[in-house]
Amino acid sequence: MPSGHYEIYRNGEKIQGGYLVEAMCDKPDCTARIDRGLDFLCGETPGGDEYGCGGYFCYEHQYMAPDGQHGNRCFLCRDRGTDSTQTSPDAMVVTFADA
């Protein structure tokens, strides 16, 4: 495992990670103080992966990963990788009534 303080790239931007790095919850209106350890990470890999965005969220704003997956998910990513059929929008049906 990485040490308590390391650098990672998230969306092309270098950020500090690790449980020794103090941070605030990444939910914009939340000021809970956390650190950038894996306890608060969204996804399974620092910097983000196919499961999570790589953000860091307090316990109130993170959720358990779906069955068979690891780590935590933030409120935005909690449904990622679960049911992909749900994301396809229904085709819009427009009916013109003959006036």
Which spans of this chain sit near Zn ion (rule: CB under 5 A)? 25, 27, 30, 32, 42, 52-53, 58, 61, 74, 76-77
Q: Which is nearer to Zn ion, 83 or 90 (CB)?
A: 83
Residue 46 Cβ vs Zn ion, minimum distance, rounded to whole Å: 12
Q: Tell the smallest beta-carbon distance from residue 9 to Zn ion (Å).
A: 16
Query: 34: Cβ–Cβ under 8 A, 6 or more apart, which residues?
Result: 22, 23, 24, 25, 40, 56, 57, 58
**Cα torsion at 10, 67, 23, 21 (round to 10°)?**
-80
Select 18 or 44, whichever has its Cβ closest to Zn ion.
Answer: 44
Residue 30 or 93 with smaller CB distance to Zn ion: 30
